[in-house]
Amino acid sequence: MTNAIKEIPDYLEQYVATQDYDLYTPIDQASWRFIMRLSKQHYSQHAHEKYLNGLMETGISIEEIPRISDMDKKLERFGWRAVPVTGFIPPSIFLEFLSLSIMPIACDMRKLENIDYTPTPDIVHEAAGHAPIIADPHYASYLHKFGEISRRAIFAKEDLEVYEAIKHLSEVKESPKSSAQDIDKAQVRLDKAVESVQYVSEASMLSRLGWWSIEYGLFKKDDQYLIYGAGLLSSVSEGYNCLLDQNVRKIPLTIDCVNVDYDITKPQPQLFYTEDFKELEDVIDQLAEKMAYRRGGEYALKVAMRAETVNTVELDTGVQISGCLSKYIMGKDGSISYLQFSGPTQLSYKDHQIEGQGADYHSQGYGTPLGVIEPFLVEASDLTESQLNQLGFKGESKGSMKFTSGVVLEGVLKNKTSLNGKNLIFTFEDCKISDGAHLYFNPEWGPFDMACGARVESVFGGASDRGQYLRATHQYAVRVKPHLTNQTTENEKLNEMYSQVRSLRESGAITEDDVVSLNILAKEVKDYFPEDWLLSLEILEIIKSNKVSDSQLESKLTEHLKRLGSQTERLKNLICRGVEII
């Protein structure tokens, strides 16, 4: 557990996991070392200049999987923190962490079968991919701003369905228990979810910008393309091939990149580059200007209604209404006259839930009129006690409040919630609201809480007081367990062999007795685990890099690796690149 958990809201704490370092297997450690050695060799020439120093500055070792608590201490020097998580966390939660300058680091380690790439977030992607470039202050500033703006984005219902399908597919692919049929079924689910998407939401546009910058971004310096995107930095195949493949188009990154979709399961046919990380902030600022949280008004309401998800409508008084907007009515004066929400709805002020106005209280939906009150032509927030009396709201008397939009409210005023001399909520009993054509509220429905406000200043994604909303709607997740281990009954013996080889390598000088042991291990891995290639490569590394050598063993290992590499082009490339760095 890191110190950063003490600094985050409790509704984010539930996503913080425990990095149980003992769950990493010797195969995991060997896989990490292989990836990082290839990465160091390749990215020393082909990554952003911050990459190599950034590894060291953020506590990432070539030799072993990093401890996230160590990374947390290192990142603190740059104004960032790190917390451990497991696998996929909801996109909105990931962005919340970024907005707080906290990097969520997935504890899980990819399987050896997926050593070159996995769509599932893992410690290679999060630590070796994201963290090093944070050492660049301009990039760190962009990442923080990306989180701040993205956490305001409105997600469409279909976005969430696609996320769940991607999460499921990735988990199935990484599970050692999954069959080919399981993977096919998960892929069909994702395909159907993608096909159901009706439009490109705000969240999707930001996801695309994040993909083409944070995940798959290139940096152009002079005439050279350098990698800074975490998805490329953590993929020893695509990060290598994308610069060599002339068919991969390199395009200047502008706001137009949000019109280009991506497939998380395939190499990307084009990549976008920037020549200055400050340009990234310009692009996201341009995108933010188009978003509902900046534009407000009827435009923003239309975006929220189309999304069919929980969003927050913020009024000019600062009152925030969080729920699923089901409709809005325009008044005879052309203003927004009434808002109606379905399902659990929360009323807040400056992101803090107003007492007694939670989603558990408004569990069946909520509506409120907006506008200016006749005959005073002031907002309800500015009505004085004298003016309320003139409208008939005195004691138990029923008063009448007419808005310039044509909406009329009749009822007994029972309570006012005010702050700094401004009315925020009026609570009525025996209340009826209508405009002649529509009946908005019937006295039989119980007390009515009216939110004071005349204009919609902003609409943004999610609830305003997120912790309270999630708690009221029982969406707090069960605290996540430690990350899963790749240890299985089938690979238990193989892990022991990897451990022996690691111990020999780390012991320093190799003796003749050690060479005998390596011969035995090489034979056993060939006999019992004929498809494993990384352990043979590690044994070959020890033999070639020590004074006590064995040319016969070296020849056998080389032939074995050559045979394995002939099976697929992918495996051939991995083995050849591994041999090159010995």
**Mean pLDDT along residues 137-150:** 94
Give 85's pLDDT tier (boundaries 50, 70, 90). Answer: very high
φ, ψ for residue 402, nearest 5 deg: -105, 130
Q: How many CA atoms lie within 13 A of 165 on its CB side?
A: 22
Residues in the chain, overall count: 582
Q: Once rounded to an integer, what is the mean pLDDT over residues 494-521?
A: 93
CB atoms within 10 A of CB 8: 17
pLDDT of residue 477: 64
In CATH terms, the fold of domain 3-153+200-285 is: Phenylalanine Hydroxylase (1.10.800)
Distance CA(235)–CA(494), nearest Å, equals 25
Read off the pLDDT of each residue in 495-520 and give the average, rounded to a whole number: 92
Tens digit of each residue's pLDDT (9 = 90 or more) over 503-513? 999 988 888 89
Q: Which residues contact 439 (CB under 8 A, 6 or more apart)?
A: 432, 433
In whole angstroms, what is the distance from residue 376 CA to residue 426 CA? Answer: 17
pLDDT tens figures, 342-383: 999 999 999 999 999 999 999 999 999 999 999 999 999 999
Coil, helix or strand at residue 456: strand
Q: Which residue has the tokens 């096909």?
A: 195
Residue 9 has pLDDT above 90, yes or no: no
CA 54 – CA 40 distance, rounded (Å)? 12
Domain boundaries, the chain: 3-153+200-285, 157-198, 307-472, 492-580
Residue 338 vs residues 6, 63, 367, 453, 477: alpha-carbon distances, Å: 41, 62, 7, 11, 34
Q: What's the pLDDT score for residue 1? A: 42
Sign of the dihedral defined by the CA atoms of residues 434, 437, 440, 445, in that order: positive
Place 2 in a pLDDT band, splitting at 50, 70 and 90: very low
- pLDDT attached to residue 423: 96
557-579 average pLDDT score: 94
The pLDDT value recorded for residue 582 is 87
pLDDT of residue 453: 97
Lowest mean pLDDT among 283-297, 404-418, 545-559: 545-559
Q: What does the pLDDT average to over 168-191?
A: 85
d(CA 276, CA 343): 45
What is the chain's alpha carbon radius of gyration, rounded to the nearest angstrom?
29
For helices 137-150 and 202-210, the axis angle rounded to 10 degrees is 160
Percent of the chain residues topping a pLDDT of 70: 98
Whole-angstrom distance, CA of residue 210 vs CA of residue 217: 9
Residues 238-264 have pLDDT tens digits of 998 999 888 999 999 999 999 999 987
Q: Report how far apart the first and last C-alpha atoms of the chain are (Å, whole number).
A: 36
Banded pLDDT at 478 (limits 50, 70, 90): low
Angstrom distance (rounded) from CA 32 to CA 570: 18
The per-residue pLDDT for range 399-427, each reduced to its tens digit, is 999 999 999 999 999 999 999 889 999 99
The pLDDT value recorded for residue 5 is 53
Full-model pTM: 0.88
State the pLDDT at residue 476.
72
Which pairing describes strands 422-434 and 448-451: parallel, antiparallel, or unpaired? antiparallel
Q: In whole angstroms, what is the distance from residue 92 CA to residue 491 CA?
A: 37
pLDDT at 445 over 50: yes
- Provide the percentage of residues in the chain whose pLDDT is more than 90: 78
What pLDDT, on a 0 to 100 scale, did the predictor assign at position 197?
Answer: 87
Is there a cis peptide before residue 132, judged by omega within 30 degrees of 0?
Answer: no
Choose between 449 and 178: higher pLDDT. 449
Higher pLDDT, 545 or 297: 297
When pLDDT is cut at 50, 70 and 90, the band that residue 4 belongs to is: low
- CA-nearest of 23, 62, 21 to 43 is 62
- Look at residue 549 and tell me whether its pLDDT is greater than 90: no
What is the torsion angle, in degrees rounded to the nearest 10, for the CA atoms of residue 333, residue 334, residue 337 and residue 341?
170
**Mean pLDDT, range 217-237, rounded to an integer:** 94
pLDDT at 304 over 50: yes
**pLDDT score of 519 more than 80:** yes
Decide: 170 and 124 in contact? Cβ < 8 Å.
no
Question: What pLDDT, on a 0 to 100 scale, did the predictor assign at position 375?
Answer: 95
**What residues contact 160, with CB distance under 8 A and at least 6 apart?**
309
3-state SS track over 373-421: EECCCEEHHHCCHHHHHHCCCCCCCCEEEEECCCCEEEEEEEEEEEECC
